[in-house]
A and B are shown apart, each in its own frame.
Chain A
Amino acid sequence: MTAPTTERRHIVVPPGSVALRLENLSVWYGAHQAVRDISMVIPERSITAIIGPSGCGKSTLLRALNRLHDTTPGARVAGHVWRNGIDLYAPTTDPVWVRRHIGMIFQRPNPFPKSIFDNVAFGLRVNGYRGNVAEQVEQALRAAALWDEVKDKLHANALALSGGQQQRLCIARALAVKPEILLMDEPCSALDPVATMRIEDLMRELAKSYTIVIVTHNMQQASRVSDYTAFMLAGEDRIGELIEYAPTREIFIRPRDRRTEDYITGRIG
C-alpha cells in the first residue's frame, strides 16, 4: 500500500526555537517493532499533542524522548533525539541527566507514598539541589497551581489528595527539578472533567516557559490545548508510524491525509 500523502510531516520552526529534533526514531519491544522511523521537530515553549488510536505507539514514542525505555528490559531504541546539538542517544549521554531535563507526567497520578512536601523535595535531594529546599518546594507547588490547597498540610500523605490534586502534585514534583521539557502521557485520562480542565489551564500557563509534549486519546483535548498535533497510526504490521504533523488548527480543519481525517471524524479508532 502506498501512502496517499506523506508530505505534511514537517512543520516550520525557526532554527533557534527547536526543543527536540527526532531523527529516524524506532522502538522495539523484544522482537516486535512498536514504532518505525519517526522524524519530527518539536518547537520550544509550545504544546505538541500526539494523537492516534490505541496501540499506535504514541506512548512508546513519548517514553523514548526521556530514555525511559532504558529502564525496561527488552526495549530497544534506534535513531536520534537531538537537543541543542546533543544527541540524547549518544553513548556518552547519561540517561539520568536526560531525565532531569525532560520531566514526565504519567497516565495515572503516581505520587510516592510520602508526604506532599517530600514528594516535591525528593527530586531536589536526588539531584543535589543546593538552594533552599523549602522555598523551591513552595515555588514548584505554586507553579503547579496547588500551593493554596496544600500549604496547610504539607506533611500529610500525598495519597490522601484527590486524583486531580495528585496529578498536579506530580507536575509540581517534575517542575521542582527545573526541566525545560515536560512529557505528559495521557495526564487526564484518570481524572474527572473539572480536574481535567484545571490541568489543561495549567498546561496553557506552563507552555509560556516550558515545552510540553502530550499524548492523548482525547481529540477535544488535543484541539483545546495544543499548538501542534501529530497523528500516528499502526498499519497492518502493527508498527506505529507518523502519518501527519501540522499546526493543530490545520490538522483538525483541513487534514491532508485521508487516514487523519477518518480518525478525527471518528471513522477509525
Chain B
Amino acid sequence: MTGTQLRPTVGTDTEFQPRLSLRRKVGAVFGVLTVVAMAIGLLTLGTLIVDVVRDGWSVLSWDFIRNFPSRRPSEAGIRSALIGTVYVMVLVAVIAFPLGVSAAVYLEEFAPKNRLTSFIELNISNLAAVPSIVYGLLGLGIFVRALTLGPSVIAGALTLSLLILPIIIIASREALRAVPPSIREAGYALGASRWQTVRMFVLPVAMPGILTGTILALSRAIGETAPLITIGALTYIAFTPKSLLDPFTVLPIQIYNWVSRPQPAFHQLAAGGIIILLAVLLSFNALAIVLRARLQRQIRD
C-alpha cells in the first residue's frame, strides 16, 4: 500500500500496535529503577555517616578541636590539621576560581574556533582525568623544588589548584555555553564591547552554574591526600602554620595517620576527624550554595 492517502483511523486499528499496557509497565519499571539507584546512593551515605558518628562521637569535644596531635590518644586533637585544611582550601578557592573562570571565559567567548583551541580543549578534558598523585609529582617538581617553596601551605594550595583547575574550567564553559546567544546579541546591539557583554550580561547569568562546578571541584580538593603527601606535607605537626611558607598538614592526612595506627583509640580519633572534615566540607558548600541562591534570586526578580 502506498502511503499517500492518509485518513483518520476508523474502527479497528490494524496499522498501529500501541501496546499501551506494555509501555505503561516499562515506564513503571524504570521509575522503580531510578528510585533504587537513588536509594543506593542515600543508603551508602547514611551508612557512612552512622558508622563514623558512632565511632567518633565520643571523641568530639572542644579539646579535640583545640589540641595538637599527640602520642597519647586521650590528649590528641586535630587543631593543626583543621587550620591547615581551612588555610589550604581558602587559598585554593582564591587561586583556582579566578584562574578557572578566566580560562573558561577566554575559551568560550574570546578564543577563535580553530585547531589550536580544540586541541587545548581536548587536553583540558584529559587533565581532569589525570590521577591526583601525578599532580603531586608535578607540584613537587615545580613548586617545592624549582620555585623552592618547600613543602609549604602555598605549595600545597598551588598543587591542589592545578588539580581542580580543569574541573572548574569545564564546568564554567558548560555554564557559559548555556547562556542564550540572544543575551549576547542584545549586549552587542547596544554598543557594548565583547568584555562588557561578558562581564555585565553573560557572566551573571552563568554564575550559578559556575558556582556549582566550583563547589564540586573544592569538594574534591578538600579530600585529597596523595598529592599533598607527595609534595611532603607532614603527617605529624604540633604547631599551626604562621605564614604561607610554613609546613602544614590537612585533615585527610591526619585521618590517614590515625587510621594506620594499631590502637583502637586512634581509630576513634580518625572517625572524629572525618566528622570534622565533613563539617568543614559542608560549611564550604553551604557558603557557595547561599551565594548561588542569592545570585539566582537576583536574576529572577
Name which residue of chain A comes closest to B296, CB basis.
A113
Number of A-B residue pairs, CB cutoff 8 Å, is: 75
CA distance A132 to B226 in the complex (A): 59
Q: Is residue B205 within 8 Å, beta carbon to beta carbon, of the partner chain?
A: yes
Residues of B within 8 A of A125 (CB): 200
B206 → A minimal CB distance (Å): 12
> B40 on the interface (CB 8 Å rule)?
no
**Chain B residues with CB below 8 A from A17, complex form:** none
B6 CB to closest chain A CB (Å) equals 25
Q: Is the CB of B188 within 8 A of A71?
A: yes
Are B183 and A110 neighbours in the complex by a CB distance under 8 Å? yes
Total interface residues in chain A, CB < 8 Å: 32
- Measured CA separation A68–B181 after assembly (Å): 12
B190 and A126 contacting across the interface, CB-CB below 8 Å? yes
Per-residue CB contact flags for chain A residues 94-107 toward chain B (1 = under 8 Å, else 0) read 00110111011010
CB <8 Å contact, B189 and A112: no
B299 touches A103 (CB 8 A): no
Is there contact, CB below 8 Å, between A112 and B183?
yes
- The answer to whether A100 touches B190 (Cβ under 8 A) is yes
In the complex, the answer to whether B193 meets A174 with C-beta atoms within 8 Å is no
Residue in chain B with minimal CB distance to A160: B301
Residue in chain A with minimal CB distance to B180: A110
**B291 at the A interface (CB under 8 A):** no
Contact A108 B182 (CB under 8 A): yes
Q: A106-B186, A110-B183, A157-B301 are in contact. Are A123 and B191 (CB under 8 A)?
A: yes
Interface flag for A222 (CB, 8 Å): no
Q: Which residues of B contact A113 (CB under 8 A)?
A: 205, 299-300
Tell me, in angstroms, the Cα distance from A123 to B196 when the chains sit together. Answer: 10
Interface check B7, CB cutoff 8 A: no
Task: Determine whether A214 belongs to the interface, using a CB cutoff of 8 Å to chain B.
Answer: no
**Is B113 close to A, CB under 8 A?**
yes
Q: Given the complex of chains A and B, what is the CA–CA distance between A4 and B184 in angstroms?
A: 42
Query: How far apart sit A246 and B191, CA to CA, in the bound complex (Å)?
Result: 31
CB distance from A253 to the nearest CB of B (A): 35
Residues of B within 8 A of A126 (CB): 187, 190-193, 196, 200
Contact between chains at A174 and B189 (CB < 8 Å): yes
The answer to whether A99 and B191 touch across the interface, beta carbons within 8 angstroms, is: yes
Q: Is A73 part of the contact surface with B, judged by Cβ < 8 Å?
A: yes
Distance A101 CA – B189 CA, assembled complex (angstroms)? 9
Number of interface residues of B (CB under 8 A): 23
Q: Which of B184, B188, B300 contacts A99 (CB 8 A)?
A: B188
Interface residues of A in 175-219 (CB under 8 A from B): 177
Q: Does chain B have a CB within 8 A of A162?
A: no
With a CB–CB cut-off of 8 A, which chain B residues contact A160?
301
Contacts of B188 in A (CB 8 A): 68, 71, 99
The chain B residue with its CB closest to the CB of A111 is B186
Say whether B256 faces chain A, with CB atoms less than 8 Å apart: no
A33-53 near B? 1/0 per residue, CB < 8 Å: 000000000000000000000
CB within 8 Å of B: which of A109-157?
Answer: 110-114, 122-123, 125-127, 156-157
Mark each residue of chain B from 280 to 301: 1 if its CB lies under 8 Å from any CB of chain A, else 0: 0000000000000000000111
Residues from chain B with Cβ under 8 Å of A156 in the complex: 301
A73 and B112 within 8 A (CB): yes
Task: Check: B185 CB closer than 8 A to any chain A CB.
Answer: yes
Give complex CA distance A174, B196 in Å.
16
How distant is the Cα of A122 from the Cα of B188 in the complex, in angstroms?
Answer: 12
Which 7 pairs, one residue from A and one from B, show the smallest C-beta to C-beta distance? A100-B191, A123-B190, A104-B189, A110-B182, A126-B192, A113-B299, A110-B186
Known contacts A106-B189, A122-B201, A177-B190; 13 additional CB pairs below 8 A are: A71-B194, A96-B193, A100-B190, A103-B190, A110-B183, A111-B186, A112-B183, A114-B299, A123-B192, A126-B187, A126-B191, A126-B200, A174-B189
Binding site for B on A (CB under 8 A): 66, 68, 71, 73-74, 96-97, 99-101, 103-104, 106, 108, 110-114, 122-123, 125-127, 156-157, 159-160, 170, 173-174, 177
- 29 A-B contact pairs sorted by A residue (CB < 8 Å): A68-B189, A71-B184, A71-B194, A74-B113, A96-B192, A96-B193, A99-B188, A99-B189, A100-B190, A100-B191, A106-B185, A106-B189, A110-B182, A111-B186, A112-B186, A122-B187, A122-B201, A123-B192, A125-B200, A126-B187, A126-B191, A126-B192, A127-B190, A159-B300, A173-B186, A173-B190, A174-B189, A174-B190, A177-B190
